[in-house]
Structure 1
Amino acid sequence: MITTLAISGYRSIRELVMPLERLTLVTGANGSGKSSLYRAVRLLADVAQGRVIGALAREGGLESTLWAGPEAFSRAMKAGHQPVQGTLRKGRVALKLGFASDDYGYAIDLGLPPADATSAFNQDPEIKAEALWAGECLRRANEIASRRGPAVQVLSETGTRDTVLSTLPSFDSMMTHAADPTSAPELLELRERMRGWRFYDHLRTDRDAPARRPQIGTRTLTLAGDGADLAAAFQTIREIGNPVALDEAIADAFPGSSIEVSVGNGLFELLMHQHGLLRPLSTAELSDGTLRYLLLAVALMTPRPAPLIVLNEPETSLHPNLLPALARLIATAAERSQVIVVSHASGLVEALSGERDTVAYELRKELGETVTDCPDPPAWDWPKR
């Protein structure tokens, strides 16, 4: 389980270190930085997939995603006695992301590349430093693997730090190029764990959504990010998951209703039986809210629980009457997976706040910076370049 999340220099987040629980709720007004926090966690997952540089490019490049305020706020600035202005920078321009878990921690430092007149990729960020360690906070004594520039060192069984790569390109992570079952098994284990993280923020319910049409189906242990394989994933839960709990989740939200999976010519389609109707409704006929709840139910009740599930505004399109059922669905999922919920639905947050092993953060802006109340932030150190 992730115990600490750390973000530095990303969009409206200048510096944020926050402890996480089995179920973490993130709320706040529009523009408070909820999406920035969600994207930061997703960027961490992109590191393990080898996609972090491309992901930043799709966001407009590193310069457009960097914290746009001053490196630090003086007391006079915070008190309003002095205008917010830049001062002489002491540290390097950097976007830093990291986390600590029950066993391992990882952090990455991305910076601007030196100008190169021979290259057309001068806007691509560079990976300046990375670190993998054992325990809650990075120390030299517990560092297992480190990357400084193009060199990667790994702690060997004899206690020496061996250089396993010396020419790692600045756009490649040691996560994808140094993970090895023999020389760096911890790096390999953490990479595969991060690749198992699941993010749901684009579950489509529009008229042209893939979930509204019959789709070719195979056993599906993880619902796709756009929900295209809804029917196959539902049937997979029926066959090798917990069908009783799935049916109860449907009945909890839609009393008297049940789901049937129709299979013909290899195409899977979801049909919903509702009390009082003489025929079932296909997904093409369902309301956006009904379809979204079905998508969330299948995503959260997968037979193969993810180490981490992150939901971004799952309440979208849902009637307020469905929020208690959604809260119970999320609470049940948190018994098998760590869950982060980013939401501005007070009804959902309130329903989940009473669950055990739960922490809630309300984000807000102060002088353009995303902050939250965290009385006892965990200790945190970033890897040195």
Structure 2
Amino acid sequence: MRIHSVRVRNFKSLRDVHMRDIPNFAVLIGANGTGKSTFIDVFGFLRDCLSGNARTAVHKRAGFAQLVSRGREGEDIAIELKLDLAFADGRERRVTYLLEIGERDRRVVVKREQLRWTRGGGGKPFNFLDFAEGRGSAVEDRPDLQETALRREEVLLDAPEILALKALGQLKRFEAASQLRELIEGWQVSDFRIDKARMEPDAGPAEHLNEDGSNLALYAQFLHEEHPALFSDLLRRMADRVPGVAEVTPEDTGDGRIALRFRDAAFRKGFLARYVSDGTIKMFAYLALLSDPAPHPLLCIEEPENQLYPNLLPILAEEFAAYARRRRDHAQVFVTTHSPDFLAAVPLESIYWLRKHEGFSSIARGADDRQLRALVAEGDQPGWLWRQGLFRGADPA
């Protein structure tokens, strides 16, 4: 899976924003309030629509009137993704998924939902999923049949706020819908919190690090017991990145809880996570997240620089980039940052910057700016160029 473009209309400050040519590792920069968090929330919104329904996803964000762009009341929120899907028979398709959310009689409904791609060698994209307000049709893509011979099934959903992708994605014969549903359900929009990561949770399974980090000790125990080679590599990278950390071990506290113990090289006995620095906890959590044996198809991480020493930020940027390269066809990473130190290790092709004009956001790609390309080619780092204000409109000045 790889998302190639995202277009968003009428979603808060994103009145009409189109992010194109997205690499596996994408970094969003910009001043406070320019729409970075809003853009990341688009992915969370899609996942919430799928896991629940459009109404609950909208109400989670204070209702439709608060979510739709100012001045666009009465219009629909629209999100369009273009992404690659690999089919079971070896075919790869560039598909387009369109979701439009609006109101009818003050009730949130799915106004339009389409999943389409071009069959064969070209021609007009074909709608394999085409729904409006709970009614529509779906077509099974049969490579052995011509387009005119494909059978369209008429479907009535249980309610107009339910996504067809959710209902039909359970049926394997609708392969693209099933695959896209599985991908979106696996997205992680990180909301990491240091206080949560220090917790000593009750023992139990944790095959993934959750979004706020509250099961960090359980997830470390899972890696330690089920994937010892990955855990050993995690510890090696942690020791390289945070000097002095010689060992991290999950241990049973004796009362049914699991705690993390960090041992400094200068001491024989380690310290429990609740006594370790914020930066140490956060770096370990990110490295553990990137060690997941079953990676999330999309990771969205906001401002990872908080609580980390500046010298660690280029290293962390390199870790995210390496993860995206290593998992090339299975994982994509979006990061927002305010840190020039982090940006110093990010290639220009991965940088997008948001700016705001008259209350609405726009987005630009670093590699599309001739001046930035020339300066980077001469050896300047993107972080320094940002400090100099050359990403025009990306800072409060």
- What TM-score do the two structures reach when normalised by structure 1? 0.81
Separation in 1 of the partners of 2:285 and 2:58? Answer: 28
Aligned residue in 1 for 2:161:
171
Q: Secondary structure at the match of 1:248?
A: helix
Aligned residue in 1 for 2:79:
97
Separation in 2 of the partners of 1:307 and 1:182? Answer: 19
Indicate whether 1:249 and 2:212 are aligned: no
Do 1:26 and 1:341's aligned partners in 2 also have CA atoms closer than 8 Å? yes
Shift of 1:182: 5.0
Aligned pairs (5 A) from 1:260-299:
260-265=249-254, 266-299=256-289
Change (3 A) 1:62 1:140: farther
Separation in 1 of the partners of 2:216 and 2:112? Answer: 40
Please report the RMSD computed on the Cα atoms of aligned residues, expressed in angstroms.
2.4
Indicate whether 1:155 and 2:139 are aligned: yes
Q: Secondary structure at the match of 1:127?
A: strand
Separation in 2 of the partners of 1:182 and 1:345? Answer: 44
Opposite residue 282 of structure 2, the aligned amino acid is R
Change (3 A) 1:182 1:212: closer
Shift of 1:246: 0.4
Aligned pairs (5 A) from 1:18-167:
18-19=19-20, 20-69=22-71, 93-103=75-85, 104-114=95-105, 122=106, 124-134=107-117, 141-156=125-140, 157=142, 159-160=149-150, 162-167=152-157
Aligned pairs (5 A) from 1:337-352:
337-352=331-346
Shift of 1:244: 3.4
Do 1:105 and 1:135's aligned partners in 2 also have CA atoms closer than 8 Å? no
Shift of 1:161: 5.0
Separation in 2 of the partners of 1:36 and 1:318? Answer: 24
Q: Secondary structure at the match of 1:293?
A: helix
Q: Secondary structure at the match of 1:232?
A: helix
Separation in 1 of the partners of 2:125 and 2:200? Answer: 55
Aligned residue in 2 for 1:353:
347
Opposite residue 200 of structure 2, the aligned amino acid is P
Out of 362, 365, 368, the position equivalent to 2:359 is 368
Which deviates further from its counterpart, 104-113 or 264-273?
264-273
Opposite residue 229 of structure 1, the aligned amino acid is N
Opposite residue 3 of structure 1, the aligned amino acid is H
- Which structure exhibits the higher relative contact order, with contacts defined as CA atoms closer than 8 Å and separated by 6 or more residues? 1
Aligned residue in 2 for 1:8:
9
Shift of 1:324: 2.4
Count of aligned pairs: 340
Do 1:134 and 1:143's aligned partners in 2 also have CA atoms closer than 8 Å? yes
Do 2:356 and 2:362's aligned partners in 1 also have CA atoms closer than 8 Å? yes
- 5+ residue gaps, structure 2, are 86-94, 369-397
Q: Which runs of 4+ in 1 moved over 4 A?
A: none
Q: Secondary structure at the match of 1:327?
A: helix
Do 1:125 and 1:171's aligned partners in 2 also have CA atoms closer than 8 Å? yes
Aligned residue in 1 for 2:213:
227
Q: Secondary structure at the match of 2:104?
A: coil
Opposite residue 31 of structure 1, the aligned amino acid is G
Separation in 2 of the partners of 1:11 and 1:65? Answer: 5
Which deviates further from its counterpart, 367-376 or 341-350?
367-376
Separation in 1 of the partners of 2:264 and 2:114? Answer: 54
Shift of 1:338: 0.8
Q: Deviations over 1:116-142 (max 9, x none)?
A: xxxxxx3x4211000112269xx9642
Which deviates further from its counterpart, 227-236 or 338-347?
227-236
Separation in 1 of the partners of 2:236 and 2:346? Answer: 19
Separation in 1 of the partners of 2:230 and 2:116? Answer: 37
Separation in 2 of the partners of 1:272 and 1:35? Answer: 32
Q: Secondary structure at the match of 1:372?
A: strand
Do 1:151 and 1:163's aligned partners in 2 also have CA atoms closer than 8 Å? no
Separation in 2 of the partners of 1:254 and 1:204? Answer: 19
Separation in 1 of the partners of 2:237 and 2:58? Answer: 37
Opposite residue 279 of structure 2, the aligned amino acid is G
Change (3 A) 1:351 1:145: same
Opposite residue 356 of structure 2, the aligned amino acid is K
Do 2:189 and 2:299's aligned partners in 1 also have CA atoms closer than 8 Å? yes
Do 1:11 and 1:66's aligned partners in 2 also have CA atoms closer than 8 Å? yes
Q: Quote the sequence identity (%).
A: 24
Shift of 1:215: 2.0
Q: Secondary structure at the match of 2:335?
A: strand
Change (3 A) 1:252 1:192: same
Change (3 A) 1:102 1:68: same
Aligned residue in 1 for 2:179:
189
Separation in 2 of the partners of 1:214 and 1:282? Answer: 10
